[in-house]
A and B are shown apart, each in its own frame.
Chain A
């Protein structure tokens, strides 16, 4: 996408803060986050619930505005974007995957995958070709005419992954993608995400507390109380089972 591909970082976060006011107290959901995310890497943001994972996910994805600090995507400060540019960013630059799948309930699997391509103005024939190819890739071609409620959780998440990739985004953001899935289905989804990360060279950023994710991540950012404790490569992660949090 574009000529800036030589730039090493696709996401840069600088001094990011998000404070919420709850009554008289201020909750610091994010308290000064700095991180750089390489193009094409698989990064997991790990932390217990309430550590600020989802808030960070929303900030990187341009879904919420920070109290202070900046998020750069391909060197562009996303706080500076107008509504149209922001819609473009969400449609074409970033693909989103959620814990609760968030498929459009009135649409079939196929229509769900096609939808972001409609927003991006992709031609009808190309939409069809890409949607079928993606559904085939995630192994759901024969379920293409099923509605979300006719699919299992794992199948719904596969449709959501196909949808997230429809516009060939540079970044896929996944918020607890395995949170609503059983162990085995969760493993399959993680495996699929890793394969797509390698095949398509798409940057994958997951916010999770699923330790299964450690096995496929290039780097892991440990988040706690709105602060990044450390960012380490997979090879550096040392397991101390009694310290793993969920």
Chain B
């Protein structure tokens, strides 16, 4: 019979612990998190501005197709730039933490735990970026349109439209962040501990 190495106990990393580590990582490396977030904030702010301006015009003037195609293309480009920015920034974050990943693996972390950690971290960054982007977007919408359609027109927008804009902002930013960070997170998870510990970062 093949001899077994495992004599007792098991290996696991509960989600609550991953969450704790993720939050500490974000807090302690706030500059890095903010850098990743900045692209998201800007693109979501642009998105919110467009959505709310469209709503304001719809509810005050009854206009339907008020945002020209040009702006939608701009929005698409903004998301594209933000998406590549996330991947780039998370790749840097992984490079900075290679040795730490190696250490975690020596302590018993499996590939999936490392993957989980990075994905969760970026889901958070994405969601927070979505909320901040939404707030910035509202301010931008009001400031930019104050002289043309007036601030009062924004009061005409029903609350449900704001809620819709907020929820879609969070959804888009979270999904974008998770999808774009999955490749760097996968690379981090696959690191061989010996190789990771050799790094001088």
Chain A residues with a Cβ under 8 A of chain B? 1-4, 58, 61, 63-64, 73-76, 78, 80-81, 83-85, 87-93, 96, 98, 100, 102-107, 115-116, 118-121, 163
Contacts and interface: CB of A to CB of B under 8 A. Distances in A.
Interface stretch (B56-64, B86-94, B108-116, B145-153): B108-116
A120 B7 contact: no
Nearest to B99: A102
A63 B5 contact: no
B81 interface: no
B104 to A, nearest CB: 7
Interface of B: 2-14, 17, 21, 24-25, 27-29, 99-100, 102-111, 192-195, 197
11 contacts: A1-B8, A63-B106, A64-B194, A73-B5, A74-B5, A93-B5, A98-B197, A102-B99, A102-B100, A105-B28, A121-B11
Contacts of B195: 64
B75 to A, nearest CB: 36
Contact of B197 (A74, A88, A102, A120): A102
A120 B113 CA distance: 13
A116 B103 contact: no
Contacts of A98: 103, 197
Contact of B11 (A61, A76, A81, A88): A88
Given A91-B107, A104-B104, A119-B11, 12 more contacts: A2-B7, A80-B2, A83-B110, A83-B111, A85-B6, A91-B108, A93-B5, A96-B107, A98-B197, A102-B197, A106-B28, A107-B24
Contact of B108 (A4, A76, A78, A90): A90
